Structure 1
Amino acid sequence: MDGIYLLLGTNMGDKFLQLKIAKRQINEQIGAIVKQSSIYKTAAWGEEDQDSFLNQVVKVQSKLGPLKILDKIAIIEAAMGRERKGKWKERIIDIDILYYHNQVIATEKLHIPHKELQNRNFALAPLAEIASGEIHPVFQKTQKELHEQCTDQLEVIMLPPEHS
């Protein structure tokens, strides 16, 4: 993997606005967004009795290390009003680090590559769109291959370009 890839997700309020605000904050606090996927609409994962999500992957250029980026993400999420209500609950914004270049990190606080990436179409579809040939540093498969082999059955719908 060449680059830092973040997954943005929201299923509360004006979802398009939440993504726009998150991207502006990432640009200001983490680094320049150099590439972004289309926006995808997806049913909620895990706890399905909630509104659908909008997801988008962005590639960021940053001089910050992965733990500093994680800290900045927490600041952005809190400033946007995110309340941590539990796993798979609704959220105004969720930002996950999918990749930090080719680094593999496994600590209590941080897993890179994201440890569930290969199991989630809502992350793989936008990632495969903008980084299809990039290799997962653990599985040694491209993002396209991971997406094609993913067994996640949740429908992922790419929205038209005017939404991105």
Structure 2
Amino acid sequence: MEHLVYVAFGSNLGDRKENILRAIEEMKKKQMEFLRISTMYETEPYGLKDQPKFINCAALIRTSYAPMELMDMLLDIEKALGRVRNVKWGPRTIDIDILFYDHRIINFVDLIIPHPDLQNREFVLRPLAEIAPDYIHPKLKKSVFEMLNEIEGVKI
């Protein structure tokens, strides 16, 4: 069965754009079809401020992987590209997050979809709004565009 999944990419170590492009290539090798990819945006760090700026983008993929299979695959790709998890919100070569999976609400111990904090993250919503402004968050019942517009200080 085919699923439509929105994912977010972030990188702030090494060649940030190249890290994202390599992650996309690795995902393609695993039979993930990219239907749309946003522009890459340079953004300020979130959470832990004392670190380099990020490059972020979002994509819509088509995949046959179940949610946990997809998550495991993305974690393997992150690890293969040098991701080390030692500081929460710390610097990273690559971060790949599942934002939405079809229109499902998933609450597993190790996986929550929609991503639980995406509505507060301009660095996720801005690229996502470029490729899916009218997508409705299945829990919040707001479009991506509306969520981006609600973030304080964001002027569209």
Give TM-score, length-normalised by structure 2: 0.94
User: Match of 1:37, as an amino acid?
Assistant: S
1:69 & 1:124 partners in 2: Cα distance? 21
Q: Are positions 1:136 and 2:149 aligned together? A: no
- Per the alignment, residue 162 of structure 1 pairs with none
Identity level (%): 36
- Per the alignment, residue 20 of structure 1 pairs with 21
Q: Which secondary structure state, in structure 1, belongs to the residue aligned with residue 141 of structure 2?
A: coil
- Per the alignment, residue 95 of structure 1 pairs with 96
- Per the alignment, residue 86 of structure 1 pairs with 87
- Per the alignment, residue 58 of structure 2 pairs with 57
- Per the alignment, residue 70 of structure 1 pairs with 71
2:45 & 2:30 partners in 1: Cα distance? 28
Runs of 5+ in structure 2 lacking a partner?
A: none
Deviation at 1:54, TM superposition (A): 0.2
After superposition, the C-alpha distances for 1:14-34 in whole angstroms (9 at most, x for unaligned) are 111101101101111251111
Which is bigger in relative contact order (C-alpha 8 A, separation at least 6)? 1
- Conservation of the 8 A alpha-carbon contact between 2:4 and 2:63: no
- Per the alignment, residue 159 of structure 1 pairs with none
- Per the alignment, residue 120 of structure 1 pairs with 121
Q: CA-atom RMSD, angstroms?
A: 1.6
- Conservation of the 8 A alpha-carbon contact between 2:8 and 2:59: yes
2:47 & 2:34 partners in 1: Cα distance? 29
How many residues matched?
153
User: Match of 1:80, as an amino acid?
Assistant: L
Give TM-score, length-normalised by structure 1: 0.89
